[in-house]
Amino acid sequence: MKRTEHSFSASQKPEEIIAREEKRYWDGIEEAAEMTVQKNARFIFLAGPSCSGKTTTSLGLIESLRKRGLRVFAFSTDDFFFDEEQAGRFADGMPDYDAFSHTDSAYIRRVLAGLARKETVVLPTFDFLNGRRAEETITVDPTRYDVTILEGIHALNDRILEGLPPEEERVCLYLNTTCGVRMEEEEEGLSPEEVRLCRRIIRDHKHRGADAERSFSLWVHVRESEKEILTPFRKNAQIVLSTDFSYEPAVARDEVTRRLSEVAPSSRWYDSAQKLTAKLEKFPRLSEDLVPKNSVLQEFLAD
C-alpha cells in the first residue's frame, strides 16, 4: 500500500487547514452515500484498520443517507467478539483479540441472511470493560430500514461478504490511514503507524480503561494481525476514503504525552514512549475546540 506524508505548517491559519481537510473527508462520505442511492443498495460494509475512524464514518453515512430520505440502521462486528478468555494467543502469550476466529462470524452471517430476507434478527452487545458479551441484546426489524451498515475490522472479509447480500445490493467502503505527518521545517515526523498509535492510546484510555503501556503491548500485535485479517480484503472496497489529517498531532499532543508520561522507566516500552513524546513535542499546540464536532478526530480526543 502506497504511503504518503502530510506536512503541517505553523505559518498557515489552522482554521483554513482544518476546514480544507475536513471537507475532503466529508466529500468522501457524500460520495459513498450517493453511490448507495444510485445502486439502490440495501447494505453498506465499512472496514478499516484499528483507530481509522469507523464509528464516526458510520455515523456520517447515517446522517448523509437520512438527508436523502433513507432509513438507516448500523451495527458493528465488535459486538460479535467471543469472551476475552476465549481469545487465541500470540507466541508471547498476549491475547489475539483481532483474529477472525475471535469474532462469531457464523452469527454475523446468520444476521445478514435474516436481514436480507427482511426477517427480525437479534444482535449481541459486547462489554469491553469486562471483556465479555453482555446480557443485553438488540432486536432489529429490517422492514423499518432501507439501508443497513455493518462496520468493523472484519466487515470486508470474504467469509463475511460471500453471497450475503448479492454484490449489486451492497456498497463497500475502506478507510485508508497511510499518511504520516511532519512539521514543514522538520525532516522527520510521525509515521502512519505512530499517528494511529496516538489515536489508540487516547481511545484505550477513554473507552477501555487501559493505560499507555497496555496500548503499546497490544499495538505490536494489532499491526501484525492487520496484514492477515484486513489488508488482503481491501480489494473488496469500491470506495477508499482517507481519514488522515495533518493537524491531528497538534491537537492530540498534550493528551498523548500526558498518557506517555505515565509509562515507568522500568517498562520495556519506556524508550518508545520517550521517542514518541519527543516527536509530538515538535508540533505546536492546537486547541481541541477547533476540531469540528462531527470530525473523525472527536473519537480520539480527551473528554
CA distance 141 to 111: 11
Q: What is the pTM of this model?
A: 0.86
Residue with grid cell 502506497, as numbered in its chain: 2
CA distance 39 to 22: 26
Q: Higher model confidence: residue 81 or residue 92?
A: 81
Burial bucket for residue 162 (CB in 10 Å: 0-12, 13-18, 19+): exposed
CA distance 248 to 300: 10
CA-wise closest residue to 203 among 194, 212, 193: 212
CA distance 57 to 25: 9
Q: How confident is the model at residue 139 (pLDDT cuts 50, 70, 90)?
A: very high
Dihedrals phi, psi of 44, to nearest 5 degrees: -120, 130
The CATH class of the 4-300 domain is alpha beta
For residue 120, is pLDDT > 70? yes
Domain regions of the chain by residue span: 4-300
The pLDDT value given to residue 177: 84
For residue 142, is pLDDT > 90? yes
The pLDDT value given to residue 5: 54
The pLDDT value given to residue 2: 45
Burial bucket for residue 33 (CB in 10 Å: 0-12, 13-18, 19+): buried
Across the chain, mean pLDDT equals: 91
Q: Higher model confidence: residue 168 or residue 112?
A: 112
pLDDT tens per residue across span 39-66:
999 999 999 998 899 999 999 999 999 9
The pLDDT value given to residue 186: 76
The pLDDT value given to residue 292: 94
CA distance 21 to 179: 13
The pLDDT value given to residue 303: 67
pLDDT tens per residue across span 235-248:
999 999 999 898 99
Residues 6+ apart with CB under 8 A from 67: none
**Three cell numbers, residue 293:** 464536532
Question: Residues 252-279: what's their mean pLDDT?
Answer: 96
Strands (E), 178-302: 179-183, 239-242
Cα of first residue to Cα of last residue in the chain, in angstroms, is: 33
pLDDT tens per residue across span 5-32:
566 666 688 899 999 999 999 999 999 9
pLDDT tens per residue across span 167-222:
889 999 999 887 888 887 777 889 989 999 999 999 989 877 889 999 998 898 88
- Give 23's Cβ-side CA count (13 Å radius): 6
* Separation in Å, CA 194 to CA 44, 88, 273, 276: 29, 26, 11, 8
Q: What angle do CA 30, 163, 96 make, to 5 degrees?
A: 80
CA distance 271 to 35: 46
The pLDDT value given to residue 7: 66
CA-wise closest residue to 45 among 116, 157, 123, 150: 150
